[in-house]
Chain A
Amino acid sequence: MESSSIQEPFDLIRLSLSERVFVKLRGDRELTGILHAYDGHMNLIMSDVEETIMIVDVVDGAPPGQPATVNVAKRKMEMLFVRGDGVILVSPPSRT
């Protein structure tokens, strides 16, 4: 029954409606939040969103072997419209 209802990739996203999803965005950003709506452009409307931004600081003139420092910035938003062109991945959050 459940397999018959899935005919296209968007059907999989539909399954996650009003569920918490993990969204990977361009620009080293990640979102987790509850998916409320989406469209064919992968525009998303999410609530209760936490955005995680990876900021990689490469020190100028540092030796190539030295790892760049990675800062993680987080912020929370009650409601968010995500433009679809930045969306790389939408997945249900990993369940433990």
Chain B
Amino acid sequence: MAFFGFQENNLEEERQRIRNGGSRENEDVAVYTWGEESYDGLGDALQEGGDDFNDETFGSSGAVGKDFDFAGQTSLLEPELTQQKNVSASSPAQPRVDAASVRPIEQRPPGGRAPSSLESIWDDRSPFSVLPRENGANRFAERPSASQFSPFPESPVLHQPNASQGGARTLQEIEAEMRAAALQSRGVSQRQQNAIRVQQEEEQFLQDQAYQRRLAYQREREAERELQIQALQRLQQQQVMQLREQQQHQRTPPPRMLPVSQSPRFLDQRQILLLQQQEEQQRLQQELQEQLRMEELERQLRAQQISQLNQGPIHFNHRRVPSGPTLAELQAMQQQQLHRRQRSQSPAYQDFNINPQNIQLQQRLLAELAQVEYLRDFQGATQAEQEALRAEAMRKIVETEKMEDRRRKKAAKIAHMSRYNDLMTQSDKDFITRIQVSQLVTPDPYADDFYAQVYGAILRSRMGLQSQDERVLKFGTGGGISLGNAQKAPTRRPNAMQRMEQQVERIVSNARRREEEKGLHSLHSLQGALGKTSGRSYKAAPRQLLQVDDASTSPTLAHAHAHISKEDAKDKPSEGAAKEAAKLSRETLGGTGNVVRKDPLTRRQVLAALEAMYDLVLKVEHLRREQPPLEEEEASQHWQKEYDDLVEQLWEGLKVMVPLETSNPHPFVSLLSPSKGKKLLPRLTRHIGSSRMLTLMTLLVACFTQLDVVKEAPLLDALEDSPERAETERQTQAFLGSVLQSILPIVANLELHVVTALLGLLIDRSHDIAAVAKTKPGLALLTLFLSRVEVIKQAWSTGAEPVDVMSAQASLEQWQAVFDQFFVLLTPHFLALFPSSRITLSAHHPTSAALAIDIIDQPVWQFLAALALQAAPEQHQVLVTSLRDKVLENVLSANKGWVADEDERRTKLANVNLFLHALGLDSSQIAL
């Protein structure tokens, strides 16, 4: 305990002493003794009454909030107590204390200390103040006043550590302190500060005066003098009071901050007077302030005018413009001032001026007056010019303000936009560009932009432009950027385009070099370029709890399993080999009839195989585009090898060489069943050699009846629109458009004997050639064959093709035999070949379908014409007899007008003539 500089006390001893009711005289701690015998009853002596005017003094306390200031409430008692003490304790020493309690203490000589003020004594923060007072009688009296032992927080203002001032401070000091605090906390405007400064000066002056006046009042008591002084005094006092009042209103300080002179009692006595005089005071004060402000404004105006006169164009300090008054305001002020100046000739004002002790103030006022007078003269002399100038100035001000406003807005906008300027360095931008470009770089720019490229090529060829092969940027080995479709107007922005290309090329080459340095493949660098995707889905899978290592955990089982699987692996190829051998032997021994039969491909197998085929086709097409020039022998050889390899794979994939009887339908036919399979064929033909294509065609002819389009063909004869019919229609169109188109060039080059063989094969393989002929694909194929034979025959007859007569004759005989067979087979079905006949047989077709039917019939007429060309005269007879009704029906309906329109009529006649011309006849020859 000695550490803290206190008297060393044994705590235990102390406690013992207290417990024993030890003497309190030695205690240096205030002990509250309420409820004990020794209680001095001072708590009851607290003045409870006399708070009638509390509301007027402190303002009516409305609803009591939660933030009630207990300390402030308690210290309410402080001033009263102080005054009581002041009156009671120090009255003998100061006889004029009554006056002091009534008058403001500040009327004492300035700087005068009041050492007897208990307020300041309590404020004493010297170390001795903590010690117990020597006169113990006072101690109990002090307790209720919450002095240094008060548990409540002490007033912050009064206790500001102005240690330099010693113990006691005068009211002026306190007041100055308060005012300074107010100024600091408020941040009052310059003008207000000026006003307050002037007021302070006045106060000082008035205080001095008041002191003198008091002396004079005591000594001389002259009547008129007294009157005058009193009037002045009242005014001055009121002003001072008013100032304080204002400060109180402004700050609403807690009651304890009231100066002693404004203690409640004082205010009580002065209140009525105050209320009466308040209005006048306020007016005076306002006038004073107004005048000061006016001076300020006039000063500004003067400065403006002078600068205006001197410099012509106005250069305002723009910071002053918004805060400063406008010219209109200034004008109004000036008029007001003139008005007021007349009014100021009131007796009070004169009295005030006459007062000889006010000379200083008077002089100041006079000086100001003179200044104003001068100003007025100056202004009055050039009133008209002034007005003009003012208007001009006004206009310019407005203009400048507008300009300034606009400029400021613009600047603000720019500033707002430029907030993020230079956030990214050049390397950042480059980095982003690299990321963007790297996303464009692909190993195969052409394939990745395939459709745009093809479309562009088509467009260019249509527009007759020279066809660039590929609109791609290529970089080194394979990578590149597709440029998509060419611009329609190539000359439009070629420079920009070129520049972009160069830029991209540079960036990409840089990127590639960097990648090569890193030793990474470009694809790897692309991974995660735009942030990683959380590939967590697989991690979310159940964790594998059992980690069975085959070798370690269960060796016997694993070994057994391994053994078994090995056996399997051994068995399978041997089995396969055996099967293969068996198949081969059977094929060699028993011919084609004994092929190992397999289940036809499932649809899924077909689709999967087709996808694989498409992959191959794309690869091959890609490879073809990258065919190196023939000069580079090594690369060319390498390319050729690769290409041949792929084509071989394609050929394998087509399964054309699979024995004919392997399955029904044949795998190749199965592959043709989906429309994409049919569409695949034209893309293959350019890669597959013609000999292989011939094989393919032979297979196709052999398996013709297995084709879905042939099998499903009867569906087309139904008029009802069903999904199946639509599907068959689609497939048929695909077949005609793709498959037959792709074998067309093969057929066009066929020798006669091959055609004969093919027709024979078709007749052989089809159980019902008429059924084949009733299908569109079949009819088309037969027409193809017949036309080819006709072409060959014509070539021979005209001698366009040098021909070995003997072999030609043999071929012709062969052909005629096959054809005769074919004709005989077909004869009973001639009429049924017409879809229109089949349809009308099944149902009455609506007339609207008539034209459509004629169009459908057209291939049949074509076929019949081709047939007629090959037919012998007696066969012609058969043909005409069979088709007589059909021909007559068409011709009749055409001639008699049983047709919907001219189109139908023409179509009907054209169809009939197609056939009749082949016979050497014409529809016009038909007599009706």
Contacts and interface: CB of A to CB of B under 8 A. Distances in A.
A1 B667 CA distance: 14
A15 B676 CA distance: 10
B611 interface: yes
Nearest to B606: A2
B603 A95 contact: yes
A34 to B, nearest CB: 8
Interface residues of A, number: 17
Contact of B608 (A15, A19, A32): A15
B478 to A, nearest CB: 24
Nearest to B610: A15
DSSP majority for the A interface? loop
Contacts of B723: 32
Nearest to A15: B607
B676 A17 contact: yes
A78 B604 CA distance: 26
A95 to B, nearest CB: 7
Given A19-B676, A95-B603, A1 B727 contact: no
Contacts of B674: 18-19
B609 A1 contact: yes
A18 B675 contact: yes
Contacts of B676: 17-19
A15 B604 contact: yes
Interface residues of B, number: 15
B675 A15 contact: no
A14 B679 CA distance: 16
Nearest to B602: A2
A43 interface: no
Contacts of A5: 608, 611-612
A70 interface: no
B293 to A, nearest CB: 72
A59 B454 CA distance: 56
Contacts of A3: 608
A2 B603 contact: no
A58 interface: no
Interface in B218-234: none
A91 to B, nearest CB: 12
A16 B603 contact: no
A19 B727 contact: no
A27 B676 CA distance: 32
A45 to B, nearest CB: 12
A20 interface: yes
Contacts of A92: 603
Interface in A41-71: 48
A17 B609 CA distance: 13
Contacts of A1: 608-609, 612
A72 interface: no
B678 to A, nearest CB: 10
A32 B727 CA distance: 12
A51 to B, nearest CB: 14
Contacts of B604: 2, 15
A5 B616 CA distance: 12
A50 to B, nearest CB: 8
B735 to A, nearest CB: 14
Contacts of A88: none
Best-buried of A11, A15, A95 by chain B (most CB within 10 Å): A15
Contacts of B611: 5, 11, 14-15, 17
Interface in B674-708: 674-676, 679
Nearest to B679: A18
Contacts of A32: 723
A6 interface: yes
Given A1-B609, A2-B604, A48-B726, 14 more contacts: A1-B612, A2-B607, A2-B609, A2-B612, A3-B608, A15-B608, A15-B611, A16-B607, A17-B611, A19-B674, A19-B676, A20-B727, A32-B723, A95-B603
Interface of A: 1-3, 5-6, 11, 14-20, 32, 48, 92, 95
8 contacts: A1-B609, A2-B604, A2-B612, A5-B611, A15-B608, A18-B675, A19-B674, A19-B676
| Top 6 A-B residue pairs of the complex, sorted by shortest distance between their CB atoms | A2-B608, A15-B607, A18-B676, A2-B605, A5-B608, A5-B612
